[in-house]
């Protein structure tokens, strides 16, 4: 797994395997597995004919009745958090763009807290969306100004590119053209570690004055690195989709829709930032 929100979750993480007699077997999911015979024969004999008839005639239970996770739950929660993030970002852009460092720090802290919580907290996840809105509102104006063009135009390009990439990743996953295999996730993990190491070195060299401007992310090299980062974020989205699909199929509680939405927001924010930086670098190098 690439996204820590999903990889650290007992619900959305890869199924654990337990050895049995020298072999490997996937541990059963704690959700959605029917427990036959748990009441014994005595309970069955105690049920009268009327009760059995009522049970037979009753409609089948839906995921809403059992309060299990559905794709609609994830879509609604994700859409709501995105709407909140956009509203806060627009307000920050207009009234207080200088607060973006506060939003960045708050978003980082809340992101780590939510990523390592065993059970989702709707309040903390909502606060994360607010913090990211403050961060993105200010930093979007900053990057737009650096690009030397209309800042609104730069941001709109980044938003359209993010949504297009999200749609493309979803299509590739749903169509089966890209499958999440152990080899795929291993390759992605190695690539992400390498990218993080490169970014950290670049930040240190820039902050210490060894390099100026964008550092190693300037010019043609910066554009290439930006394209690679966009590819990694898109691949992470596909892994996120696979984790959500696994959660739905296992019948996990519907409350984990908050975790799924939070994980998607984390990846979408990263993807947007990479497009924003890429567009700013491309325009500033012209």
pLDDT tens, 116-136?
A: 988 999 999 999 999 999 999
In a domain, 46, yes or no: no
In a domain, 213, yes or no: yes
Residue among 257, 272, 255, 278 nearest 85 (CA): 272
8-22, 53-67, 116-130: which has the minimum mean pLDDT?
Answer: 53-67
**SS3 for 26?**
strand
**What pLDDT score was predicted for residue 23?**
46
- Count each helix (H run) and each strand (E run) in the chain, helices first: 11, 2
Ramachandran area for residue 103 (φ above 0: left; ψ -120 to 50: alpha; else beta): alpha
**What pLDDT score was predicted for residue 30?**
52
Please say if the pLDDT value at position 1 is more than 60.
no
State how many domains the chain has: 1
Structure confidence by residue, pLDDT tens digits, 139-168: 999 888 876 657 788 899 999 999 999 999
In a domain, 53, yes or no: no
In a domain, 34, yes or no: no
Structure confidence by residue, pLDDT tens digits, 161-194: 999 999 999 999 999 999 999 999 999 999 999 9
Segment 209-229 mean pLDDT: 83
**What pLDDT score was predicted for residue 57?**
56
In a domain, 193, yes or no: yes
Please say if the pLDDT value at position 55 is more than 70.
no
In a domain, 5, yes or no: no
In a domain, 100, yes or no: yes
Domain containing residue 85: 67-284
- On whether the CB atoms of residues 27 and 17 are closer than 8 A, the answer is yes
Question: For the chain, what's the residue count?
Answer: 286
In a domain, 174, yes or no: yes
**What pLDDT score was predicted for residue 39?**
42
25-34, 135-144, 198-207, 273-282: which has the minimum mean pLDDT?
Answer: 25-34
Beta strands 23-26 and 17-20 are: antiparallel
């Amino acid at each position: 797994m690439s996204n820590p929100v999903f990889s650290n979750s007992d619900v959305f993480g890869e199924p654990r395997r337990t050895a049995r007699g020298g072999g490997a077997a996937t541990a059963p999911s704690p959700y959605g597995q029917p427990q036959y015979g748990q009441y014994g024969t005595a309970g069955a004999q105690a049920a009268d004919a009327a009760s059995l008839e009522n049970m037979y005639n009753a409609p089948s239970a839906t995921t809403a009745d059992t309060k299990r996770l559905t794709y609609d739950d994830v879509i609604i929660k994700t859409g709501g958090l995105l709407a909140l993030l956009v509203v806060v970002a627009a307000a920050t852009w207009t009234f207080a763009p200088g607060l973006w460092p506060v939003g960045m720090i708050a978003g980082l802290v809340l992101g780590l807290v939510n990523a390592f919580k065993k059970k989702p907290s709707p309040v903390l996840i909502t606060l994360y969306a607010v913090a990211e809105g403050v961060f993105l509102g200010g930093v979007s104006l900053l990057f737009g100004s650096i690009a030397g063009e209309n800042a609104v135009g730069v941001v709109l390009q980044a938003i359209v590119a993010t949504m297009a990439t999200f749609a493309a990743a979803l299509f590739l996953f749903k169509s089966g053209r890209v499958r999440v295999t152990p080899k795929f996730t291993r390759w992605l993990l190695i690539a992400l570690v390498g990218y993080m190491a490169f970014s950290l070195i670049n930040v240190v060299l820039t902050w210490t004055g060894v390099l100026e401007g964008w550092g190693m992310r300037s010019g043609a090299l910066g554009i290439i690195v930006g394209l690679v980062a966009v590819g990694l974020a898109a691949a992470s989205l596909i892994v996120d989709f696979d984790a959500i699909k696994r959660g739905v199929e296992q019948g996990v509680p519907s409350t984990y829709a908050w975790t799924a939405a939070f994980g998607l927001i984390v990846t979408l924010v990263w993807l947007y930032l990479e497009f924003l930086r890429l567009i700013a670098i491309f325009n500033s190098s012209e």
